[in-house]
Amino acid sequence: NEDRERAWRASRETKLENIPNCEAAKPTPEEVQGWAQSFDKLMKSPAGRNVFREFLRTEYSEENMLFWLACEELKTECNKHTIDEKARMIYEDYISILSPKEPPRSLRASQVSLDSRVREVINRKMQEPSSHTFDDAQLQIYTLMHRDSYPRFLNSAIYKSLLQTISHSSSES
């Protein structure tokens, strides 16, 4: 069971690594400009999520993206046993209030900021987890990123630099 948990965490971390620096993975100037038009466009783009995640890391709120991605992955699961395991890991990593028996916070993912109503709903749903156990929480985190982090991202050096670099390199070709 611990091996399976380690493998799942490793596969999750691998999927979240930065996009390799190859032409096929680079977003087009139109795609990067599109991220400023809508948060949905940013979140639907793998490259956009990666850049936004980099930005969130600088704001110490990367756990919001990691939680959102973990929920997206959970929704693709069909196997009841796997859903139970992944739901438990998401709960432990992002929802659960740290108990004294657990490792220090620095060794775990950070807790996401949710209101008490959503926490109560999740606590009830964890009795019989499904692939949609965290839907309310995921929506709340998505909304938080959209309202709070996204405007700052658009004004960030990370985004402006990428926009400038990609526009400059496309004008040279």
Encoded tokens for 113: 């900021």
Residue 100: the pLDDT is 41
State the pLDDT at residue 26. Answer: 82
pLDDT of residue 5: 60
Nearest to 136 by CA among 150, 124, 121, 116: 121
- Residue 141, in any domain of the structure: yes
- The rounded Cα 37 to chain-centroid distance in angstroms is 20
Rounded Cα–Cα distance for residues 146 and 40 (Å)? 9
- Rounded Cα–Cα distance for residues 84 and 127 (Å): 10
Task: Identify whether 21 is part of a domain.
Answer: no
Q: Is residue 6 part of a domain?
A: yes
pLDDT at 15: 46
Return averaged pLDDT per consecutive 10 residues of the chain, 173 residues in all. 59 46 67 96 96 95 95 96 96 77 50 92 96 97 97 97 84 60
Q: Give, as one character, the DSSP assignment of residue 115.
A: -
Q: What is the pLDDT of residue 16?
A: 45
Q: How many CB atoms lie within 10 A of CB 12?
A: 17
**Structure confidence at residue 99 (pLDDT):** 41
Q: What is the pLDDT of residue 3?
A: 64
Within a domain: 23? no
pLDDT at residue 33, rounded to an integer: 95
120 is a domain residue: yes
CATH number at residue 76: 1.10.167.10
Domain that holds residue 152: 1-14+28-170
- Give the pLDDT score at 166: 86
Q: How many domains does one find in the chain?
A: 1
Evaluate whether residue 92 is within a structural domain.
Answer: yes
The answer to whether residues 137 and 118 touch, using CB atoms and an 8 Å cutoff, is yes
d(C-alpha 148, C-alpha 160), whole Å: 18
Q: Cβ contacts of residue 117 below 8 Å, gap of 6+? A: none
CB distance 64 to 145 below 8 Å: yes
Give the global pTM: 0.79
Answer yes or no: is 88 within a domain: yes
pLDDT at 24: 42
User: Does residue 22 fall inside a structural domain?
Assistant: no
